[in-house]
Amino acid sequence: MDGFELEKIRNCRIILVVGPRGADHGTILPTLIYGEINNESFAFLDSPGFGHAASQPGAVKRQIHAMLGHFTKEFGGIHGILYIQDILTERETPGMQEATYFLRELTG
């Protein structure tokens, strides 16, 4: 990110986007990267999807924790989490279960 991008994010509410692999946050997110709602700016940060066959157990969780650490250090934290899932996907998929456990752990 260049200086302009960093300053733009610094003036936004930062929302972390999480969900299982295949939930299409990659399709939805490009329309939401920066947005304004009621004169307030938001930056949506995509995270890797849970349940990717090529990832080691816990790898996505570690990546998201690293992102949270970075944004806490650089910007004072995040302002929210947006969870995206495909409502037609079975709830018992490993990716969805991993995402649900992660959110429970994160939010207490």
Q: How much is the pLDDT for 34?
A: 65
Structure confidence by residue, pLDDT tens digits, 45-95: 888 788 877 777 788 888 888 988 988 888 888 898 888 877 776 667 788
Q: In whole angstroms, what is the distance from residue 47 CA to residue 67 CA? A: 8
The pTM assigned to this predicted structure is 0.72
Q: In whole angstroms, what is the distance from residue 36 CA to residue 38 CA? A: 7
Average pLDDT over residues 32-48: 77
Q: How much is the pLDDT for 22?
A: 66
Spans of all domains in the chain: 3-107
Residue 59 CB neighbour total at 10 angstroms: 13
Second-level CATH architecture of 3-107: 3-Layer(aba) Sandwich (3.40)
Q: How much is the pLDDT for 30?
A: 56
20 half-sphere exposure, CB direction, 13 A CA radius: 20
Say which residue, 45 or 23, is predicted with more confidence: 45
